[in-house]
Amino acid sequence: MSGEVTLLPDNGDVTSWSEAEKAIVEAAGLVFTHTYGDREGQREAAPRPVVEKFLSLARRTGLDPLARQIYCIGRLSKGRVEWSVQTGIDGFRVVADRSRRYAGQDPVLWLTEKGEWVDAFVPSLHGTRPLAARATVYRSDWPRPLVAIAEWGAYVQTKRDGNPNEVWSKQGPGQLAKCAEALALRKAFPQDLSGIYTSDEMAAAEVDEAQVTPARDWKGMIAAASTHEDVEDIIDRCDDAGELTDAVRTAALTRHGMLGRDEGPVEAPDDDAVDDAGPAYITPGLQPTEDDDVDEAEFERISAQEYADAVARGEVLADE
């Protein structure tokens, strides 16, 4: 791949980065903001192996992180941030086009419940959903096309009740078509696209709180917790049960804040300790003091608004 992404750091050593390079790395999603617990408000940079992998993939593909052609996603799971590199179908198309060996593709076909392949899937004619989608990609240096088939059951992104999430409910055939196209392009250009997946291919289950009843009253348990450790233990158990939602996170943030108020002011961190922390950027969290005339209900409202504002700014990933 000859494309070169400008302004990206040459390596994963944060101490050698310019301010512009730090900003681009953060814009690419390599900084995660904690929203509750002892690290509430802290920004955790991706570890160096993750950064090095991301930089390598960006250089290899020539994709631009500022154009969201390639980006990193951090998700909190059991107290740890798990990282993945993703792109959109447009990023795959850019890579194919730059290869100078891409010779186009046929229109995507969908398999109906009657076993017919059609070039336009219409629910009123063909059923509620396609069984599969087929994409055909051509390379100028290959005598035969590359065909890939994506089955609905393997790629549909669902809520915890098993039904398709909102995007797949409204745009299911189109989503499946993009999955088939991504499969075909990855097979046609493995040197450039191996190890990278589109957001459409990632099976991130969407939680529908209105339709799913939690197995336990997590918010009630959090409200009754008497220590920060108890709150974190409940959060871990909730995450293990697959029921960690924005509402539960907000309840945990609220309880941490109330416990912090009861414990009094928090000692400011040592300047040297902050410097040693590397690329983690710490921003002030919402911490009421003994003089604050705020009850728990009002504090929960403020905390929820703070969380929503962080999501709107793109600093926090909302539940998917």
The pLDDT, as a whole number, for residue 204 is 34
- Tens digit of each residue's pLDDT (9 = 90 or more) over 228-261: 889 898 888 887 776 777 678 778 888 887 787 6
The pLDDT, as a whole number, for residue 308 is 60
The pLDDT, as a whole number, for residue 261 is 66
Picking from 285, 265, 297, 224, the residue whose alpha carbon sits closest to that of residue 36 is 285
Picking from 36, 92, 85, 37, the residue whose alpha carbon sits closest to that of residue 63 is 92
The pLDDT, as a whole number, for residue 22 is 84
Picking from 89, 183, 191, the residue whose alpha carbon sits closest to that of residue 141 is 191
Distances (CA, A) of 89 to 95, 110, 188, 203, 267: 10, 18, 14, 15, 48
The pLDDT, as a whole number, for residue 305 is 63
Which residues touch 105 (CB under 8 Å, ≥6 apart)? 135, 136, 137, 138, 181, 184
- Tens digit of each residue's pLDDT (9 = 90 or more) over 55-95: 888 888 888 888 888 888 887 777 778 888 888 898 899 99
The pLDDT, as a whole number, for residue 122 is 94
The pLDDT, as a whole number, for residue 302 is 61
Which two structure tokens, joined as six digits, stand for 312?
A: 């709107």
The pLDDT, as a whole number, for residue 193 is 86
Which two structure tokens, joined as six digits, stand for 175?
A: 């989503």
- Give dist(CA 16, CA 12) in Å, integer: 9
Picking from 89, 266, 90, 252, the residue whose alpha carbon sits closest to that of residue 182 is 89
Evaluate whether 20 touches 6 at the Cβ level (below 8 Å).
Answer: no
The pLDDT, as a whole number, for residue 201 is 75
- Give dist(CA 160, CA 177) in Å, integer: 23
CA torsion 299→44→82→150, rounded to 10°?
90
The pLDDT, as a whole number, for residue 121 is 96
The pLDDT, as a whole number, for residue 309 is 61
Evaluate whether 70 touches 61 at the Cβ level (below 8 Å).
Answer: yes
The pLDDT, as a whole number, for residue 312 is 57
Mean pLDDT by 10 residues, the chain (320 residues): 61 84 85 72 82 87 86 78 85 92 97 95 93 97 95 88 88 95 93 80 44 70 89 85 74 80 54 47 39 53 60 52
Q: What is the pTM of this model?
A: 0.57
Which DSSP symbol is given to 265? P
Q: How far is Cα of residue 41 from the mean position of the Cα atoms in its chain?
A: 19
SS3 state of residue 180: helix
The pLDDT, as a whole number, for residue 218 is 84
